[in-house]
Structure 1
């Protein structure tokens, strides 16, 4: 088993007033040659956006972009004609493919919004751009892995991603253990603690700490207090 531990306070940080962003991996003005990516996981930004502010129209191509609101509501629009609010318990995915432009703003003029912005390298390049979002029942992730993104196109539960990647959420009660089986030796998992404290791979993780684990078939997470978790499984190398 190979592990890489990232403490919450070791992340890059940018404070633009209206935007406060913690960067797990090198992004924009933050660069660390030791923290470019974890396998096919390229970006994990933990963003806070002031009321009424946001990201104006800008381009993307050949990247799988997942947004997970943690508090508040985002307003999304793109050049493919999609315009939707994205709220807590929603997950949004955008396959940028051959290219598109989009914008994301805080939907509220009064309350801030916080969300995770995650980029994954695609499995196939230059596909037709694609957008999807879904609301997930938080009760279904209690002491369980709730899969919200998967590479299975026919899945009725999860959003499809153009990569051999799985995103899972869990609300794990204190004292509970939760195993996770990887989808092959070529895969790795990146566990990000949204809140609480857990133990995994002989490492204790607190709020916003993270650990990348590879070269293993399975892991087990134990909560030492009530915790909320995001687990991202990705290939460690492109194919």
Structure 2
């Protein structure tokens, strides 16, 4: 029997700093919920809106896999590895912090908000050389299918992270159904509904709801409206 955890959108932690409006699925900064520290190797899922021209100054990370997924607007990234780029909707950016990296993120536009997901995953190996990856995915490639956008190091052409984890994004039409098969035994999946309404293994979910599932080998997914869905498969033990 599959085990599950449900995190409704309106139960997330919330911090509004004026320039930054952030919703936290898991404990982060001033939001501390001992029942929501992580889901397996998934440590942080922040749903951030940054005001025009504002952002996060240069700050360090180590031994964490960091994934950024812009939902709208343009996010400017700069890091100590020498990368300076702008990531936009339909891009996925990954960074293995490893032995240590410093980076800054700011809204590239002075007047328009940028909305993005900031996701942290515990690494498979500690102390690796820092690494950076970025890719643009055509919207039509995820229409009525779950498009793989993040994969483990050494597998495929997706941006790679230092963990046995796979991320998929789908834009699903109302009435569309599909199955997701777990790729590695012992992994679980955390589903996050970006837009619309879906049902996963009989659980109805709505915009910004999160649903974790483990001790199963397959998820049954149906779109109850036009929907956008992010699936994050991660090890439950690491």
TM-score over 0.5 for the alignment? yes
**Structure 1 counterpart of 2:62:** 61
**What displacement does 1:152 show?**
4.6
Secondary structure at 1:139's aligned position in 2?
helix
CA deviation string 1:116-145 (max 9, x = no partner)? 000000001000000110000110111111
Matched, 1:105 2:92: no
Query: Which residues of 2 match residues 174-213 of structure 1 at below 5 A?
Result: 174-213=174-213
Matched, 1:169 2:169: yes
**Structure 2 counterpart of 1:122:** 123
CA deviation string 1:53-88 (max 9, x = no partner)? 000000000000000000000000011111000011
**Structure 1 counterpart of 2:91:** 90
Matched, 1:219 2:219: yes
In 1: Cα distance, 2:71 partner to 2:9 partner: 17
**What displacement does 1:98 show?**
0.1
In 1: Cα distance, 2:13 partner to 2:128 partner: 32
Is contact 2:153–2:163 with CA below 8 Å preserved after alignment?
no
For structure 1, the 5+ residue unaligned runs are none
In 1: Cα distance, 2:114 partner to 2:63 partner: 27
**Structure 2 counterpart of 1:149:** 150
In 1: Cα distance, 2:41 partner to 2:176 partner: 30
In 1: Cα distance, 2:67 partner to 2:220 partner: 25
In 2: Cα distance, 1:164 partner to 1:88 partner: 25
Aligned residues: 237
- Tell me the TM-score normalised to structure 2 length: 0.98
In 2: Cα distance, 1:42 partner to 1:120 partner: 5
In 1: Cα distance, 2:224 partner to 2:131 partner: 40
For structure 2, the 5+ residue unaligned runs are none
**Structure 2 counterpart of 1:160:** 160
Q: Which runs of 4+ in 1 moved over 3 A?
A: none
Quote the RMSD (CA, aligned, Å): 0.7
